[in-house]
Amino acid sequence: MHCPDIREAVSARLDGEAPGIPAADLDGHLAACPGCAAWAEAAAALTRRARLAPAPAVPDLTARVLGALPRQLPGARAAARSRLVTAGLRLALLAVGVAQAGLAWPALTSGAGSMSAPVHLAHETGAWNAALAVAFLAVAAVPRWAAGSLPFLGAFSVLLAAHTVADLAAGHVHAERALVHLLLLVGVLLVSLVAWRRRRPRERTVRAVARRRVAA
Ligand SMILES: [Zn+2]
C-alpha cells in the first residue's frame, strides 16, 4: 500500500465517504508510518476547525422581506369588488322576482287584474308571470343558472316588448298595463348581466394576460 493511496483513503474517511480500502489495512499503515500518521492528524485537525468555524454573519432580512410584501395579493381588491357587484345584482334580482310574484298572484288566484280577459286567459297569464318570478328568484339563488335561462327569458321579453309597443301604438293596451312589463325587462337585463359576468374568459384573453405578465 502506497502512502498517497493511504492519505486519499484518510481524506475520504474524514469526509464521511468510503475509504476504498479495508479499515484494518488503513489503521495498520497509520500505526506503522509516522509520515501518514502525522498527515492524518493534521488533516483531521483542519477538518475539525473548518467544521467548527462560525458561519459568516449575514444581516437578518426577515423584517425587510416581510415589509416589502404587498399588503394584499394582486387582484384581491378587484375580486372583492367583483363579488360586491355580483351580490348587488343578485339582490336586485331577488327584489324583481318578489315584485313579479306579487304581480302574478291576483291573476293566478282569482283571475283578477286581467281587465276584460277571460278567466282562463287570466290564469294562464298569471302562471306565466309566476314562472318568470321563479326564474328570477332561481337565478338570484343560483347564479350559474343565468345563462341557461336566457333563451326563454330573452325570447319572451323581446316578443312581448315588440308586441307591447305595437299594441300601445294601436291603442290595444293601456300604458299602465304596458309599464308593468318594464319589470320583466329589468329582470331579464339583470339575468343577462349575471350571465355575462360569469362567462368564461376566452383563450385569447388568457394568452394576452399571460403575455402582459411575462413582459412586466
Ligand atoms: Zn505512509
pLDDT of residue 106: 83
pLDDT of residue 76: 82
pLDDT tens digits for 108-136?
787 665 555 678 888 888 899 999 999 99
- Cα separation of 128 and 123, whole Å? 9
Ligand 1 center–CA 22 separation, angstroms: 15
- Cα separation of 190 and 183, whole Å? 11
Domain ranges of the chain: 3-51, 81-203
Ligand 1 center–CA 7 separation, angstroms: 8
Grid cell digits, residue 68: 416589502
Ligand 1 center–CA 36 separation, angstroms: 4
Ligand 1 center–CA 6 separation, angstroms: 7
For residue 192, pLDDT beyond 90: yes
Q: How many Cβ atoms from other residues are within 10 Å of residue 34's Cβ?
A: 9
Q: Counting Cβ atoms within 10 Å, is residue 133 exposed (0-12), middle (13-18) or buried (19+)?
A: buried
pLDDT tens digits for 155-174?
999 999 999 999 989 888 88
pLDDT tens digits for 55-79?
778 888 888 888 888 777 778 888 8
pLDDT of residue 69: 81
